[in-house]
Amino acid sequence: MPLFPSRKAISPEPRSPAASIVQVGPEHAGQRLDNFLLRLCKGVPKSHLYKAIRGGQVRVNKGRTSADYRLEEGDAVRIPPLRLPSPGEKPPVPKAAFPIVYEDDALLVIDKPSGVAVHGGSGVSFGVIEQLRASRPQGAFLELAHRLDRETSGLLLVGKTRKALLALHDMFREGAGRKHYLALVEGDWVNDRQHIRRPLLKWLTASGERRVKVDPQGKPAHTIVTLRQRYGRYSLVDAELRTGRTHQIRVHLRSEGFPIVGDDKYGNDATREYFARRGFGRMFLHAWRLDIPHPSTGGLLELRAELPQDCERLLAQLGEGDKK
Separation CA 284–CA 311 (nearest Å) = 7
Which residue in 214, 221, 177, 165 sits closest to 196, CA to CA?
Answer: 221
Separation CA 186–CA 262 (nearest Å) = 10
SS (H, E, C) 226-240: EEEEEECCEEEEEEE
Assess contact for 181 and 196: CB atoms under 8 A. no
Dihedral over Cα of 271, 272, 275, 276: its sign: negative
Separation CA 264–CA 152 (nearest Å) = 12
Residue 6, C-beta contacts closer than 8 angstroms, at least 6 positions apart: none
Q: What are the start-end ranges of the H helices in 198-302?
A: 248-255, 269-277
Task: Name the active-site residue from 68, 149, 170, 188.
Answer: 149
149 is catalytic: yes
Cα distance from N-terminal residue to C-terminal residue, the chain: 101
Q: Residue 163 belongs to what H/E stretch?
A: helix 162-174
- Could you list the active site residues? 149
